[in-house]
Amino acid sequence: MSARGPSVIIVRGSVKVIKIPERSPLSEWIARRTLVFLLSFVGAASAAYAAPIDAEATVLRAKCLANAAALGSLDLSSSVSLERLSAAGQPTGAGLATRDRVRWSKTRKKLKLTRASGDPVAYLADVGARTLTTAYASGTLHTEPLPADQAEGLGTPFPAWLWRPDGLIPANPVQVRAEPGTLALVSSPAAPSRTVWLDRTTGCLVRFTETDATGRVVRSVTVSGWAKVNGVWVPGTVDDVIQGTENGLHRAVRFDRPVVNPPLADADFQVP
């Protein structure tokens, strides 16, 4: 770096003009010190910005988990539709739909689904007893062991991550981004990775995406229609798009008439 002209220096109120030759040691020293100062200022500003936003992410994650923990039992209607997608992500028209009455007790470790139509007519997952019972329209009951590695998932209303988000939201995100109304928490600095968006007011989960090892987004989920019921935030809809290399799947879930923390008894989990 070189001096382009005389430097003006103020000394105790008087003005002195000092000509600094091009590439003089003094000019090089001033340039280096100025650069160091600017870089330290930018670094300090970045750190100061990151500290509060990281703290906010911790608070929002805690809010989301506290909301899930406040949900001890649930009684609602759940509509689930599955539709196959083409490799380009377009609907193919092939799929199915179900509508269930869902009763779930976290404390009793039981989940009962009563199907509005079709056969089987009901399912009962008893996590405590490690059994899964299927009831058919004929009155036949079929009971099988509940796999230990799937017990919690099968014993939680679909989708299980919605009601048990602790394993979904990064506890130590490598990056936190502020976006309109949300904070985005990134799980990993490299692919595969997951990014979770939390509402900055309520802490509710509003979206997450997952990438594969190449960085391609293979899953995109949106959660909307959050409403407070009996002091607990409950969602209205979930849109889940999973995209493979050859085809994909769109899962849409809608929750209706939720009753939060009803006093469910063992009699409410009888089948059929």
Question: Where do the domains of the chain lie, and which CATH numbers do they carry?
Answer: 59-269 (2.50.20.10)
Separation in Å, CA 239 to CA 59, 73, 264: 26, 23, 29
Query: Around Cβ 11, how many Cβ atoms within 10 Å?
Result: 7
What SS3 state is found at 21?
coil
What does the pLDDT profile of the chain (272 residues) look like in tens digits? Answer: 444 444 443 344 444 444 445 556 666 666 666 665 555 544 444 444 457 999 999 999 999 999 999 999 999 999 999 998 887 777 777 678 999 999 999 999 999 999 998 899 999 999 999 999 999 999 999 999 998 888 999 999 999 999 999 999 999 999 999 999 999 999 999 999 999 999 999 999 999 999 999 999 999 999 999 999 999 999 999 999 998 767 899 999 999 999 999 999 999 999 87
**CA separation for the pair 198, 61 (Å, rounded):** 8
Residue 93 has a pLDDT of: 74
Determine whether 34 is exposed, middle or buried from the number of CB atoms within 10 Å of its CB (0-12, 13-18, 19+). Answer: exposed
Taking the alpha carbons at both ends of the chain, their separation in whole angstroms is 84
pLDDT of res. 6: 45
pLDDT value at position 32? 67
pLDDT of residue 30: 64
